[in-house]
């Protein structure tokens, strides 16, 4: 990497900057949940707080004779991709399951509503299972060729689905995980709804396991999801992930047997140190380890061993091969939208720390023994970097702090709102707002962008979507992380 004057300046700033800054985790938590209201699709409720957004895509599914209104736009475009939406739902639910008790009651209520906005939609997508499961609304090629508000959207709202002859075990397995995890969120709040979610999760999983195959391999869906959300890592991890969440939500021995009997053949021992919308391995190992740690179920010991191996790659004091960090200390994985890795890994660190603490266990990283507090410390460094403890001295959460991204890659945020500009803005008419150097017209409060590059530099460039685009799956695990630090700020 060529060292430039800007790199040297950043290095000097980081050397002379204070090591820690006091952050208002409650404020950040509140904003991280509010973000989801800016991503809503469909008819918006009266209590909508981000009022620059209005109703959009209310007739989704109508051309196919089904109701697919609702759900979330996953990022800065106007497509509803089912795979990342389901993963978002799983992680947002997991955040509440583990750390909802740490949330102020008002924020917990908003977070539960955010989950339900997703699950109401996901229930519609599985209503025809096992004959069909809907996985996407919107033609991404045509959508990405426009820069227009979701409220003005006039591109094709193509509906994509998987079926026994055109399977999609990855998206169906993730949908099963999402519905199972969310059923735990609603168990004490709305038992009837919770039971409906769990039953639907079982149907989605049966579809995934019976008709095996990746949804991005079948021609009916491939053109609509690739290259945007192809599951490059195969569908096997989603089968185990779905089974693991059904086991936790139902305590049904059938799903435990599935994990025990199929783990090896489905790649559970591959020990891939990644976790995100297309790779569940690290999350699966942490999730299943809970049952081993809680009950000393020896048949699941390999999951803890794999989880430990993952944790060791994150510990600077460990002699294990390490994942990459930026000079400023941010977890970094090439490929764009890096903050998705930062927030999901920070969440796993905290969740695993909780599991270890309850069972008085540690992680043996050969040269050093790592305890729960070390995991929490690493997670805190990541969230503090996001909130401003970084060489750029800026928050990567929109609306938090005094300095944050102004030109995020997001159509609704960058274009004038319906209330300020009622006249229709056509597909190409929005291009002037995309290319403008002005700040976005509407503040998408709580949005966390993809973040800086491996050199800690962030240019705040709307066109650089890999760095400037927010996503729901960045924020979903961050909700849990912030909830933990609201209760444990030091």
> Cα(266)–Cα(78) distance, rounded to whole angstroms?
34
Residue 337, SS3 per DSSP: coil
Helices vs. strands in the chain: H and E counts, helices first? 18, 5
Handedness of CA 306, 311, 314, 318 (dihedral sign): negative
> Cα(232)–Cα(278) distance, rounded to whole angstroms?
7
Indicate the pairing of strand 363-364 with strand 80-81.
unpaired
> Cα(52)–Cα(414) distance, rounded to whole angstroms?
11
Burial label, 434 (beta-carbon count in 10 A; 0-12, 13-18, 19+): middle
Count of Cβ atoms closer than 10 Å to residue 131 Cβ: 9
Q: Of 23, 110, 281, 409, which is the active-site residue?
A: 409
Q: How far, in whole angstroms, is CA 451 from its chain's centroid? A: 15
Indicate the pairing of strand 133-137 with strand 80-81.
antiparallel
> Cα(147)–Cα(144) distance, rounded to whole angstroms?
7
Q: Of 60, 308, 389, 460, which is the active-site residue?
A: 460
Length of the chain measured in residues: 490
In contact, 131 and 164? CB cutoff 8 Å: yes
Peptide bond into 170 cis (omega under 30): no
- Residue 238 a catalytic site member: no
- 487: its two tokens: 């209760």
Q: Where do runs of H (alpha helix) occur along 251-338?
A: 253-262, 281-295, 301-312
- Residue 174 a catalytic site member: no
> Cα(293)–Cα(310) distance, rounded to whole angstroms?
16
Segment holding 363, helix H or strand E: strand 363-364
- Residue 231 a catalytic site member: no
SS3 content of the chain, % helix, strand, coil (to 5): 50, 5, 45
Which residue numbers are catalytic? 409, 460, 469
């Amino acid at each position: 990497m060529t060292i430039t004057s800007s790199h040297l300046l950043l290095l000097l700033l980081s050397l002379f900057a204070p090591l820690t800054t006091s952050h208002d985790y409650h404020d950040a938590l509140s904003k991280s949940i509010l973000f989801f209201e800016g991503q809503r699709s469909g008819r918006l409720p009266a209590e909508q707080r981000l009022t620059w957004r209005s109703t959009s895509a209310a007739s989704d599914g109508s051309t196919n004779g089904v109701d697919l209104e609702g759900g979330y736009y996953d990022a800065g475009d106007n497509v509803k991709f089912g795979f990342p939406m389901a993963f978002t739902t799983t992680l947002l639910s997991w955040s509440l399951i583990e750390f909802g008790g740490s949330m102020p009651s008002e924020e917990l209520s908003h977070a539960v509503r955010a989950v339900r906005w997703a699950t109401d939609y996901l229930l519609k997508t599985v209503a025809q299972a096992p004959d069909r499961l809907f996985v996407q609304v919107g033609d991404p090629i045509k959508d990405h060729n426009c820069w227009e508000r979701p409220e003005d959207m006039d591109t094709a709202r193509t509906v994509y689905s998987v079926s026994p002859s055109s399977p999609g075990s990855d998206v169906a397995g993730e949908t099963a995980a999402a519905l199972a995890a969310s059923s735990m969120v609603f168990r004490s709040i709305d038992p009837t709804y919770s039971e409906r979610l769990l039953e639907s999760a079982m149907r989605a999983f049966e579809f995934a396991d019976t008709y095996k195959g990746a949804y991005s391999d079948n021609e009916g869906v491939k053109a609509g999801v690739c290259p945007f959300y192809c599951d490059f890592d195969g569908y096997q991890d989603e089968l185990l992930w779905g089974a693991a969440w059904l086991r936790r939500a139902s305590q049904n021995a059938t799903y435990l047997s599935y994990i025990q009997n199929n783990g090896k053949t489905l790649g559970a021992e591959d020990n891939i140190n990644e976790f995100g919308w297309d790779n569940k391995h690290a999350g699966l190992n942490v999730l299943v380890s809970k049952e081993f740690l809680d009950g000393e179920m020896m048949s699941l010991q390999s999951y803890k061993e794999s989880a430990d191996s993952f944790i060791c790659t994150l510990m600077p004091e460990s002699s294990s091969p390490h994942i990459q960090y930026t000079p400023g200390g941010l977890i970094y994985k090439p490929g764009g939208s890096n903050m998705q890795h930062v927030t999901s890994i920070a969440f796993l660190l905290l969740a695993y720390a909780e599991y270890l603490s309850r069972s008085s266990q540690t992680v043996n990283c050969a040269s050093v023994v790592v305890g729960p507090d070390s995991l929490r410390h690493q997670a805190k460094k990541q969230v503090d970097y996001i909130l401003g403890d970084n060489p750029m001295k800026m928050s990567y959460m929109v609306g938090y702090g005094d300095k944050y991204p102004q030109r995020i890659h997001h159509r609704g945020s960058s274009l004038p709102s319906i209330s300020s500009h009622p006249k229709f803005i056509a597909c190409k008419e929005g291009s002037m707002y995309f290319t403008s150097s002005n700040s976005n017209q509407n503040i998408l409060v709580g949005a966390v962008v993809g973040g800086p590059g491996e050199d800690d530099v962030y240019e705040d460039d709307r066109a650089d979507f890999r760095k400037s685009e927010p996503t729901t799956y960045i924020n979903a695990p961050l909700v849990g992380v912030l909830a933990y630090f609201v209760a444990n700020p030091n």
